[in-house]
Amino acid sequence: MGIDQEFDLIVIGSGPGGYVAAIRASQLKMKVALIEKERLGGVCLNWGCIPSKALLKSAELFQEMKTAGEFGIQVSGLEADFSKVVQRSREVADVNSKGVEFLMKKNKVEVIFGKAEFLNSTSISVKDASGTELRQVSAKKIIIATGARTRALPNLKPDGKHILGYREAIVREKKPESALVIGAGAIGMEFAYVWNSFGSKVSIVEYADRIIPLEDTDSSKAVAFDYKKMGIELLTGAMVTKVEVTDKGIRAQVKSNKDASLKTIEKEVALLAAGVEPNTEGLNLEKLGLKLTDRGFIEIDHRTYQTSIASIYAIGDVAGPPMLAHKASLEAINCVENLSGHANPAINMSLIPKATYCQPQIASVGLSEEEAKAKGYTVQVGKFPFQASGKARAIGHTSGFVKVIVDAKYGELLGTHIVGHDATEMIAEATLAQRLESVPELILKTSHAHPTLSEAFMEAVASAKGEAIHI
């Protein structure tokens, strides 16, 4: 079988990096093919970002209804049908996947379903699940956007029943009576919140000395306080050394990093949420001699996204952290524009916001207080608790705060950290402020609608400058 069609650009993978790259390339008048081995939208739309937010909304709603009495509303006979919760989540994912299908047609992107394998630096063989070749296509430029998957730990791999990755967990219609969550990053924290909200007994084990270790220390402390109030067991500074499958579920051995003491935990299921690894296998990259980093990600020029082979580019999770859908989408646009001759500077990764959608939500952009000090900045720190917010009190969500880090010398906003209700919606203002190199004086002279949660950002900036009004 020979080459049956030539394109200007082939994109491998249809997640938030791949499908965005395909659309932007089409807008720039390229003839584009998008190769996808499963469902359009990739992990994010089908098994990650979107369906997990549907689960989280159900969990949040269930929890709020339990406290409806505080708002003068009496609710009796409250119960949850977890299978329907998951079914709604799948319906949301299906609609979004179909939305990407519509966008491909609208933008005249040719979608080719199958598994991509490089024949050479400009040619791709597309095969079905059995390995039978369906067709061969070629392009002047090829973008790899194949994403990442749950990272298996030594002697601990998902089996789909007792030991779960996020893909198995997101579609599991039976609520576990108890769960061990291994890893306290975004995935682990979100599943722990969902399961706990519906009555599961949850324990989280985190190797670092605090949960959500990539966030500011104050954020970690605040969320840890709330999780403990919910009844979630937090075992930080510890590692799971062994997991056995039993008649009742799993039995795990947890070892303290501090004193090597051991603790045995028995649960119905374990969730592996200790990071991800890139999807590079099966592409025939070794035949091409494409360079990988020591962690297995594809090595790229972080301005152009070009790999060690001139015609091949890589974006998103497969090209390395941070593993965020919105980072992949921004890289997609920059990559396509660059290879089209529209030069873009390298992305400032410190301006990529982070968001975790448990309750309270966690969001941040820029440097943490610890990072700023380590870089030699003299900082002014401002903090505004939601307990002091009229809007937060009115809606019954007073947990958390907004914290800002300001460079004392030049007044530059270095970082913003938010814990609380709708924190992930609020972080955009701080991200834009930092992107535009705004200074506290401009933020304080910008009128914020009252009453809103977003006023807390302005109040935190005022606190950093010693001008706080409401605290």
For 153-184, what is each residue's pLDDT tens digit? 877 888 889 999 999 999 999 999 999 999 99
pLDDT tens for each residue of 276-299: 999 999 999 999 999 999 999 999
Q: Is 450 a catalytic residue?
A: yes
pLDDT tens for each residue of 391-441: 999 999 999 999 999 999 999 999 999 999 999 999 999 999 999 999 999
Strands (E), 13-122: 32-36, 110-113, 115-120
pTM confidence score: 0.95
Q: Are residues 319 and 366 in the same domain?
A: no
What integer best gives the mean pLDDT of the chain?
96
First to last CA, the chain: 72
What is the model's pLDDT at position 434? 96
Question: For residue 50, how far is the Cα from the chain centroid?
Answer: 10
**CATH number for 47:** 3.50.50.60
Write down the catalytic residue from 302, 448, 450, 470: 450
Q: Are residues 190 and 134 in the same domain?
A: no
- Asked if residue 156 belongs to a domain, the reply is no
Averaged pLDDT for residues 74-82: 94
- Asked if residue 347 belongs to a domain, the reply is no
| pLDDT bracket for residue 275 (50, 70, 90) | confident
- Asked if residue 90 belongs to a domain, the reply is yes
Domain interval for residue 248 = 163-274
Q: Are residues 8 and 94 in the same domain?
A: yes
The reply to whether omega before 451 is within 30° of 0 (cis) is yes
Last residue of a domain, one of 220, 253, 274: 274
Averaged pLDDT for residues 366-378: 97
Q: Are residues 269 and 285 in the same domain?
A: no
Count of all residues that appear for the chain in the document: 471
Q: Are residues 429 and 321 in the same domain?
A: no
- Asked if residue 351 belongs to a domain, the reply is no
- Asked if residue 196 belongs to a domain, the reply is yes
Q: Are residues 131 and 31 in the same domain?
A: yes
Q: Are residues 174 and 246 in the same domain?
A: yes
Q: Are residues 49 and 132 in the same domain?
A: yes
364 phi, psi to nearest 5 deg: -160, 160
- Asked if residue 445 belongs to a domain, the reply is yes
Last residue of a domain, one of 274, 308, 323: 274
Last residue of a domain, one of 252, 274, 296: 274
The tally of domains found in the chain comes to 3
Averaged pLDDT for residues 43-49: 94
Q: Are residues 270 and 281 in the same domain?
A: no
What is the model's pLDDT at position 2? 84
Q: Give 223-227 contacts, CB < 8 A, sequence gap 24+.
A: 223/189, 223/358, 223/360, 223/362, 223/419, 226/359, 226/360, 226/399, 227/192, 227/193
CA distances from 325 to 147, 210, 234 (A): 10, 25, 27
Averaged pLDDT for residues 92-102: 96
DSSP 403-416: EEEEETTT--EEEE
Q: Are residues 270 and 288 in the same domain?
A: no
Q: How far is residue 147's CA from residue 49's CA, in Å, rounded to a whole number? A: 13
Q: How far is residue 118's CA from residue 138's CA, in Å, rounded to a whole number? A: 10
What is the model's pLDDT at position 1? 67
Q: How far is residue 269's CA from residue 262's CA, in Å, rounded to a whole number? A: 20
Averaged pLDDT for residues 231-251: 95
Q: Are residues 310 and 407 in the same domain?
A: no
pLDDT tens for each residue of 180-214: 999 999 999 999 999 999 999 999 999 999 999 99
Find the helix or strand (DSSP H, E) in which 201 lies. Answer: strand 201-206
Q: Are residues 428 and 373 in the same domain?
A: yes
Percent of the chain with pLDDT over 90: 95
Averaged pLDDT for residues 242-249: 93
